[in-house]
Structure 1
Amino acid sequence: MSHSGDQNNPYSQPQPHPYGQVPAPQNPVPPQQNPYAQQSIPQGQAGGYGYPAPGVPAPPPGPPAGAPVTAPGGGAGRGVSGWLWALGGVVAASAIWGSVLFATGGFSSEPSPDLAGYAYTGDLCADTSLTPFENAHFRTKANTGTTSKDANPQHSGAQLASLDTMTCNVSFDQDGTSSSGYSSTWLYSTATLHRKTDPTPEFADTYRSYEKQDTSVAYRVETVPGLGDEAYLVTRQDDASTSNSSYVILGVRDGWLTYQSTWSSYTSSSSGSTSNQPTATEVATMLKTSATETLKRLQNSRSQ
């Protein structure tokens, strides 16, 4: 019979491992630190955020918030932030220079207009030379109406942002013409100051196109030397049955000014003056002489 006092207390003695003797680990793992625990890292110690690496001394304490940065020698605003001041100066200078370029058109791709000294006039007729036609026995037809639309000569003009336009139309009577017949002689003149677009690239083709157009009426185009930068004369080719009419155009470009004068004339056989009609060559001479004087006057015109 056993006594309770003779039995070993299972909680007072170490119990054998149920799987036998367990060898000690070869590479014991050191205890892990709690990653959420707050670590107190002294200033200058490596391994903490905001601290220098080993061997690098900690920077001296900075100035308090809001205090100016003082450079060596006592200059405020330099040192660490000196490059910011320099960059700010460059930006400010660039902004000022950009404003100047915009104000003066420095960034504009549009070329400056070459007006060659010409100016707008509200009355082109006042500057149009009629002397060559008067010398050929043509006189300005008298006004027969009472309104401005019946005026002779008739002028108009407009100043716009891209161009200025001027026109003058004059109706003539020829000396010796009978009132029983019909005659009509006109001089149409236009002048344009191009302020935005250079007319040079298209000017020649404007008049060369008369020779190329598909029409039953034939035209001859000639260059005219010594008049502006370039000039062209367009003459309609008439057969013998229409020799009592003429149609001649003179186009001139001088810089960005373009000028055109057109002579259009018709006289019926009953007017009694068909034999006195000027030839196309004579009309061309009158147009060139008139244009030369008219362009000189336009260079001296003042805006009205």
Structure 2
Amino acid sequence: MPGIPAWAPPGGVPGGTGRGVSGWLWAIGGAVAATAIGASVMFATGGFSSAPDPDLKGYAYKNDLCAATSMTPFENAHFQTKPSTGSAGSASSGSSTENPQHSGVQQPSMDSMWCNVTLTPDGAGSTGYSSTWLNNAVTLHKKSDPTPEFADTYRSWEKQQASVHYKVESVSDLGDEAYLVTRDDASNNNGSYVVLAVRDGWMTYQSTWSSYTSSAGTSKPPTTAEITTMLETSAKETLRRLKE
């Protein structure tokens, strides 16, 4: 058709002139530009992001997890924090051991905290050998939800093909879910290994009790049930403090 460009829209040009084509193209161009600008704003503000916000339930990073760890249940069970040996940083002291020991790190994807405490029972004599360790670890997951893998992480303990067997039980009244891992080692009455794991939102907590008392020791080691009570009581107070 004379006077109509080959790239005109179907049905010809409104009004039969080239001006209609120009206006139509400008309208389309303006719409595309507006859409592009809107998309840029959405991406910049996270409007198109599918990543959920971390559900940290009010838990916050602490530089010193040991300071936030409740030791009262262990002290009530007649365990004390073993004194540090030597003097840290002193060349004349030879070796030194700080007790308790803490560390932590903040990263874009998670914040991690640790606390290691060596305990000793009250009235422990010099006869025999006795050692008890309490290890706590807390992770604030900021990029990925730990929920789908949390239970399987601890349930897998009882599926291990090893000479030592473990039992895993659910624990109520702690976070969104909690599990207790105990070692089924009836042949060894002198050692204990108990793990308490808690997930509350995107916060995960693990408290591990590991102890050994030689047969020549004068102190009687606590039972698994007693250790469990200590760990659970400590966990409730420690987690409360992590929200302060």
TM-score bracket for the superposition, by shorter chain length = 0.7 to 0.9
SS at match of 1:271: coil
In 2, distance between residues paired with 1:117 and 1:94?
Answer: 38
In 2, distance between residues paired with 1:184 and 1:132?
Answer: 18
Query: 8 Å contact 2:88–2:98 — kept in the other structure?
Result: yes
The amino acid that maps onto 2:223 is: T
Pick aligned residue for 2:217 from 271, 280, 292 = 271
Tell me the equivalent position of 1:159.
106
In 2, distance between residues paired with 1:234 and 1:150?
Answer: 29
Tell me the equivalent position of 1:285.
229
* Residue 256 (str. 1) matches residue 202 (str. 2): yes
Shift of 1:129: 0.6
The amino acid that maps onto 1:266 is: Y
* Residue 206 (str. 1) matches residue 206 (str. 2): no
Tell me the equivalent position of 1:107.
48
Pick aligned residue for 1:171 from 98, 114, 118 = 118
Tell me the equivalent position of 1:9.
none
SS at match of 2:123: coil
Question: 111-120 or 287-296: which moved more?
Answer: 111-120
- Radius of gyration: which is bigger? 1
In 1, distance between residues paired with 2:45 and 2:238?
Answer: 33
Shift of 1:222: 0.5
In 2, distance between residues paired with 1:230 and 1:134?
Answer: 27
Gaps of 5+ in 1: 1-48, 53-58, 63-68, 70-78
Pick aligned residue for 1:193 from 129, 137, 140 = 140
Question: Deviations along 1:104-135, whole A, 9 cap, x unmatched?
Answer: 22233333221111111111111111110000
Tell me the equivalent position of 2:12.
none
Question: Deviations along 1:119-154, whole A, 9 cap, x unmatched?
Answer: 111111111111100000001111112227721110
Query: 8 Å contact 2:130–2:217 — kept in the other structure?
Result: yes
The amino acid that maps onto 2:56 is: L
Shift of 1:91: 2.5
Shift of 1:95: 2.3
SS at match of 2:158: helix
The amino acid that maps onto 1:131 is: T
In 1, distance between residues paired with 2:193 and 2:134?
Answer: 10
Shift of 1:270: 1.9
* Equivalences, count: 228
**Aligned in 2, Cα 1:279/1:126: closer, same or farther, shift over 3 Å?**
same
Q: Output aligned runs, 1:134-153, within 5 Å.
A: 134-147=75-88, 150-153=97-100
Query: 8 Å contact 2:3–2:17 — kept in the other structure?
Result: no
Q: Output aligned runs, 1:1-304, within 5 Å.
A: 50=2, 81-147=22-88, 150-239=97-186, 241-274=187-220, 277-300=221-244
The amino acid that maps onto 2:233 is: T
User: How large is the Cα RMSD of the aligned pairs?
Assistant: 2.2
Question: 89-98 or 124-133: which moved more?
Answer: 89-98
**Aligned in 2, Cα 1:173/1:51: closer, same or farther, shift over 3 Å?**
closer
- Greater relative contact order (Cα < 8 A, sep 6+): 2
In 1, distance between residues paired with 2:16 and 2:160?
Answer: 89
**Aligned in 2, Cα 1:174/1:86: closer, same or farther, shift over 3 Å?**
same
- Higher percent of residues as strand: 2
TM-score by length of 1: 0.70
**Aligned in 2, Cα 1:61/1:224: closer, same or farther, shift over 3 Å?**
closer
Give percent identity, aligned residues only. 65
In 2, distance between residues paired with 1:139 and 1:111?
Answer: 43
Gaps of 5+ in 2: 5-14, 90-95
In 1, distance between residues paired with 2:55 and 2:49?
Answer: 16
